[in-house]
Amino acid sequence: MLWHLNSAVAMKEVRILFLLFFGFLLVTSCSENQDFDQIDALAVTPTLEASIFYVKAQESLINRVSGLSFYTQEFNFDAFEEPFFTKRVISGVISYELENTTSKPIEIRLEFLDEAENILDTEVFNMDAAPTSVLMRDVAYGPTGKSLDIIKITSKIRLTAINLGDNSSESNLADPSIVLRSSAKFTLELR
Domain boundaries, the chain: 2-31, 42-188
Q: Looking at residue 145, what DSSP letter applies? A: S
- Whole-model pTM: value is 0.72
Q: 42-188 — its CATH code?
A: 2.60.120
Q: Tens digit of pLDDT for each residue in 93-124?
A: 999 999 999 999 999 999 999 989 999 999 99
Say if residues 121 and 152 touch (Cβ distance below 8 Å): no
How far is residue 69's CA from residue 15's CA, in Å, rounded to a whole number? 89
Burial of 95 (0-12, 13-18, 19+ CB in 10 A): middle
Beta strands in the chain (DSSP E): 47-58, 69-76, 89-100, 106-113, 119-127, 135-141, 156-163, 177-188
Q: Looking at residue 146, what DSSP letter applies? A: B
Say if residues 52 and 181 touch (Cβ distance below 8 Å): no
Q: Tens digit of pLDDT for each residue in 32-50?
A: 565 555 555 555 667 778 8
Strand, helix or coil for residue 67? coil
Query: Is the confidence at residue 21, as pLDDT, over 80?
Result: no
**Helix/strand/coil (H, E, C) string of 91-122?**
EEEEEEEEEECCCCCEEEEEEEECCCCCEEEE
Mean pLDDT value of segment 129-152: 91
How far is residue 107's CA from residue 124's CA, in Å, rounded to a whole number? 7
